[in-house]
Amino acid sequence: MSEDEMETALIRLPLTPPQEASAIFRRKATYEELHPETKHGANQHTRGVENFATPADRFTAATANATGKSERAVRMASARGEALGDDLGATNHGKPT
């Protein structure tokens, strides 16, 4: 799923809290691949040629802006998504089958 598709899913689709957390965590992984300088702990001062490019917003700011949520809500959802792991699709989260 591309970054644009994930953003659309976060904004338009009705997601349960676990689904939203998982989607935000996956978006974070994709965002950090596209913008490694925004990754926590990355050295932002020795990026070489990239120093001349416009730096990307940090993940939480970009996602908060796209979704209308606060940066804190994005951080918390990302942490929940990481804790849930990749097996989210295998559960029904208490919903009847």
Q: By residue range, what is the domain housing residue 67?
A: 3-41+54-86
What mean pLDDT comes out for the span 14-35?
89
**Number of domains the chain contains:** 1
In this prediction, residue 43 has a pLDDT band, given cuts at 50, 70 and 90, of low
Please write the tens of the pLDDT for every residue from 51-82.
Answer: 546 777 889 999 999 889 999 999 999 999 99
* Cα gap 42→7, rounded to integer Å: 24
- Cα distance from N-terminal residue to C-terminal residue, the chain: 26
**Residue 62 belongs to some domain of the structure:** yes
